[in-house]
Structure 1
Amino acid sequence: MGQSLTPPARIGLVGCGAISGQYLTTLARTAGLELVAVADLDRSRAEQVARARPGIRDLPVDDLLTDPDVDIVLNLTTPAAHADIALRAIAAGKDVYGEKPLAATTAQGRAMLSAAASAGVRIGCAPDTVLGTGTQTARRAIDDGLIGAPVAATATMVTAGHERWHPDPDFYYQPGGGPLLDMGPYYVSCLVTLLGPVTAVIAAGSRTRDVRVIGSGPRAGERIPVAVDSHVTGVLTHAGGVLSTLVMSFDAGATRAAHVEVHGELGSLVVPDPNRFDGAVQVRGLSDPDWRPVPESAGYRGAGRGIGLADLAATTPGREPRAGGTFAYHVLNVLESMLTAAATGGTVPVRSRTGRPAAVPLSDG
């Protein structure tokens, strides 16, 4: 995001698990952010991170959340702990930026937003991949009328399950996890960024097996229980009338479907993987013989996980950051409404509302 003219925001990181490495890379190269402390329930993991970075303190979680030298708490705990850590940080007067989803339930998410408003602090939340050149270039193409008025979209994520590679995958198969709440935030955040908020959903879900086997690491071969649906599909109705079809699965090996496609009156757009920041955008008009590339035109170039944290730190106080809590709450509301629809077999209204975040001009991440 270029050079900062103000002192860097001092970051305290809670949760030194697998995803933290990507955030640490972004923190190390971003002028507006300064990592000052780390914490983890497994103190040895925090110590390992601190040892590799001179000047970084490893602290107990409670101490980090109240440390006067921490401006923003970066919450990289498991989904079940997101709300608890965030609420404790907010009570200490800290801004919070968390991994997705915002919380395990919308009730917890509402409590977080309410507490933050009362305390006068800000909440940001992943995924910030939608701020990269892939989704932002697609957004500009749509906003510029390249495919005319959008009519429909599809979003597809198919994998055999994270237990094949993750050494501690238990939380992926507990409430707050599953393909919908783990990977769905990337895809729904992309769809809402491109097409606006969702007003209603229908859905169905299934579970192919009740036990998964860890495939790597010191626990390889251990069996873990599955407490959530591992395949969920549904249709999202956007406020403007666009219908998006969503497929999220931990039950199959692969797919040839595009990660995201948007179909309009004048053509269709292929949007790159919303779990990445970049990627090729392609368009095919009604009279085009084949797909053609859309030149990169918007978004943070070279961005990595944590660019949303930098965006929050650079956002004027009192304004909602692009990867903000209100947006993340709406995405969570959509996902939870899909689970309700899958369980009840009916159409479920989505009560929350959000605007589309401000577009990101083409700039360095």
Structure 2
Amino acid sequence: MLRSLLCCFAAVLTLPSLAADRQQDRDAAVARGIEFLTRSAATDNGAYSPQAGTGVTSLCVAAILQNQPAALSSPSVQKSLKYLEQHFQQDGGIYVNDSLYRNYETSIAIQALTLANRDHRYDERLKRAEAFLRGIQWDEGEGIESSDPAYGGSGYGKHARPDLSNTTFFMDALRSLGAGEEDPAIQKALKFVSRCQNLESEHNDTPHAAKVGDGGFYYTSAAGGQSQAGQTPDGGLRSYGSMTYAGLKSMIFAGLEKDDQRVKAAMDFISKTYSLKQNPGMGDAGLYYYYHTFAKALDATELKTVTDASGMEHDWRSELAATLVSLQLEDGAWVNRENNRWLEGDRNLVTAYALMALSYCK
């Protein structure tokens, strides 16, 4: 009996030590990832993967500063900020000339610049960028009625229609600038987000709402609807992980409570598909984008654990950190070795996603 008690006591004593070890592993991975980005990943003018516009540079700067605020004074970060300043446009946006990704580039630049704005040097620029984003949201200004499935969304120029990925970046940007859940643009975006959910309700009267009905989210309800995970035989749009976490996060940012049927349905989908081995519904496609949205959404829920379909509780922060630590390359970078779809063969982009995900695993 005494021996059994001593063993149990010893096991309890090791728990803080185990947690500390895991935290040290996370911190070491973050340090190595930041070193990779600041050491040699940027071009001579401070840009990261400039062939993709300003977006990757903004993501890298934001990822560094979210984890290590003191890095703001580093020559590498300052050089990257100068690069972004070169792409301040007359219309208030922050993007490369002739960009088709103006919402995406500007939204992420806003997140980077707000983290770098400790001396208020970017106050006026951020106001102009905010006005630009609000101006290109799909609403009455574009002649769109609130009954239109495109209403409230944001998107890429080349598709001429909004999508959930762009819309969640748009909402992140406004939130980083202090917009609250009652903000009209946030509430308009919520209308679009709700219509991208596989849930028939008073908030979603699209033709796709009841065809799948699993509470997950897909890419867009606009222009007839589209899911990157494909369609069911009857034309339903399949839900998948990254968009479901993006949708959940967006609904929380718009003020929905945990007992709202939309939030409950999304959490039910997450419980049934919980995974860190794949992007549910997409396999290894967009895996690191998935890790980033997974972390930010679950952080927004304030849940410490997620219970899966079998009833097992998961300490999602610990599990995500361990997963990312195990996937880090020797030089400190991350890359999607299995699937380069959506630029995940780009080490700069994927390292930024991984670092941003790890910033929520403290």
Same fold (TM > 0.5)? no
TM-score by length of 1: 0.29
TM-score by length of 2: 0.29
- Pick the structure with more helix per residue: 2
Instruction: For CA contacts below 8 A with separation 6 or more, give which structure has more relative contact order.
Output: 1
- Pick the structure with more strand per residue: 1
